[in-house]
Structure 1
C-alpha cells in the first residue's frame, strides 16, 4: 500500500496546526501509516496519518508548470482528492481549454530573475536566459521586442525569428530578463544590442550608444553625445544590413 505522506511533505494537523513530515511512515500499534511531524514552531509529535491533511501545493489563480511539458498552466480549482489520496487540480491550458492535472505533474514556476529595469510592457526588449527557452529556437543572450502580454499566464509574446515554424513565441518570466533602455534599440523591427558591436556590408565595425531617445553609431570610436557619429537609421539605410560581432 502506498504511504499517505513522505518526508518533507507540508501538512496541517487537526490539533497542532501547520508543519511538515520529519520521519515516516513507520509501524506503531499495528498501523504502518504513522509519522513524526515537525510543527512550524519546531516541536515534534508522533501522529497517525488520519489526523493530518496535505497543505495545498497551489491556490486558485496560481501559475504552475507541467513537469513533463514545461507548459504554463493556470490553477482554476482544487486541490481535490483522487485515487490513492493523490491530489489533483482543475487547470487552464495555454490553448484556453480546461482539464485536470495530478499534483505530481505540476511544478511551481522557477523564481523570476531579478531586474532593476522594472516590470515588462509592450515595446520593451527582453534578453533570453537559456538555449531553447520554452521550446523556442533561441539561444542564451538573444534579444526580442515584446509584442504583447498574456497577463493571466504571466507570459510575454514576441515575433519569432525568420524561417521559424511559428510566427510568434511565448516566454515565461523565468525564460528572460528585461533589458534596460540604454542597452537596446529597435529600428524597423530589428533589435540592436547596444552593448555589442556590429559589422556593416563593407565589413566595417560600428559601436552604438543611446542618448535619450536617439541612438548614434561611431565607426572606430564610441559616440560621446547625440551630436557625434551617425544615427542608427542612417547607418542601417546606407551601410546595412548590420551583423552583430559576437567576439
Structure 2
C-alpha cells in the first residue's frame, strides 16, 4: 500500500465538496439544537408538573437512543406515514433534535445559576416572564454557556459521518464513494482524518480559550 499523490489529487475535489456539506449540516444542526434546547430547558423548568415531566422524559428518551437509529427513523420510517425529507434535511433535524437534549441541560444550568435576586428584581419592575427571560436572565446566563455549547458544536461536527447512513454525501461519504469506485482507500480515508483534524483541533483550542476566559471572568466577579 503505497501512497499515491495522484489519487490524493483526484479525490481532493470530492472531499472539499463533502467538507462543505459537513460544515453546513453541523452549523444548521447546531442552530436547531441551540434553539430547541433553550425551549426544552424552559419547559423542563415549568411550574406545571405534567409539562416538566413530559419534557424531561421525552428528552431522556431521545438522549438514551442512538443518533443513528433516529436518523434512520427520520429518513426511512417517516415516509411510511407520508412525511418525506431530503437526506440533508433529515440529517440536520436528526443532529439538532439529538443534541438539543444535551444543550437543554446547559441552558437549564445556566438559567438556574442566575441569582434569585435578579428574578425578584425583574418581578418588582413588573416584567412579564418573556421580558424577564429576554432582558434580565439570558444576558447573564448565556456567556458562561458559550464554552460547553462550543464543545457540543465540535462533537456534532465529529458525528456527521453518521449522516452517510442516510445517503448524505458529507466528508466521509464522499471519500467512501470514491474508495468503493476506485478501490483506493489509503488516500481518501487518510484525508478524511486530516480534514477532521484541521477543523477540530483549532475549534477545540478556541473552545478552551473561551472556557478559560469565562472562568476568569466568573472568578473575578466572585
Q: TM-score, normalised by structure 1?
A: 0.20
Write 1 or 2 for the structure with the bigger share of helix.
Answer: 2
Q: TM-score, normalised by structure 2?
A: 0.22
Structure with more relative contact order (C-alpha pairs < 8 Å, separation 6 or more): 2
Q: Which has the larger radius of gyration?
A: 1
Write 1 or 2 for the structure with the bigger share of strand.
Answer: 1
